[in-house]
Structure 1
Amino acid sequence: MPLTADRKKALRTLGHNLKPIVTIGDKGLSEGVMEELDRALNDHELIKVKLAVNERDVRKELIAELCRASGAELVQEIGKIALILRKADKPNARLSNLLR
């Protein structure tokens, strides 16, 4: 189910103070990056991803592929930072950015 405008606004507020957990470089979405992304989404649900790619079109394609491959939804994209969300089946209250 797509995020509503109000839900996105609330998530952007929560994500404002977060630091990027995963960085994607020029090599793109390698297996190691996808494993770390999956772990981070399972633990934190709402995370920032830094894309160290200069070309804007390539960044947009990477974000789309990242969301498709991980099952996450894009909340916000500003420059080289993407805020993404994937609800966990059993969120950990100590780690989840949504439950704090």
Structure 2
Amino acid sequence: MLTGKQRSFLRGLANKEKPITQIGKAGLTVSFLEQLDLALESRELVKVTILETALLDTKDTANEAAELLKAEYVQAIGNKFVLFRRSKNNPRIELPRPKK
């Protein structure tokens, strides 16, 4: 579970990133989820665009994808959303530590 400070940090990183994949009319397909899973493992932070023709709610789709991929929902703005999941093999993003 991300803290507010960690989520804010990830939002800042995601702001500079371009979306790497798109969701179309088919929605969250198995092949799309496999592709997103690989992207999360290699990049840790992924921005996704939902095409207008998909007619999906951005926040609901982001939360569903996060749950299926065991990732963290970071944010959804307009038709884009951001997910984070620490890489098992090559962690690159150092999150701020929560205060005790």
Q: TM-score, normalised by structure 2?
A: 0.82
List aligned pairs for 1:14-93, cutoff 5 A.
14-53=13-52, 55=55, 58-91=57-90
Tell me the amino acid that sits aligned with residue 21 of structure 1. Answer: I
- Whether the 8 Å contact between 2:42 and 2:90 is mirrored in structure 1 is yes
Residue by residue over 1:53-99, the C-alpha shift from the partner in whole angstroms, topping out at 9 and shown as x without a partner, is 4646x33332221111111111111011101101111216xxx5x26
Query: Which residue of structure 1 aligns with residue 7 of structure 2?
Result: 8
Unaligned regions of 5+ residues in structure 2, if any? 95-100
What's the CA shift string for 1:8-61, capped at 9, x where partnerless? Answer: 1111111111011121111111121011101100000011011114646x3333
Contact 2:49 2:81 in 1 (8 A): yes
Query: Percent sequence identity over matched residues?
Result: 32
**Partner SS, residue 47 of structure 1:** strand
DSSP-derived class of the 2:46 partner? strand
User: d(CA) in 2 for partners of 1:19 and 1:71?
Assistant: 22
Code of the residue aligned with 2:67 in structure 1: it is: R
Query: In structure 1, the residue corresponding to 2:16 is in which secondary structure?
Result: coil
Backbone CA RMSD of aligned residues: 1.8
1:5 maps to a residue whose letter is G
Partner Cα distance (2:62, 2:82) in 1: 10
Alignment length, in residue pairs? 93
Consecutive unaligned residues in structure 1, runs of 5 or more: none
Query: The residue matched to 2:17 in structure 1 has which SS?
Result: coil
**1:20 counterpart SS class:** coil
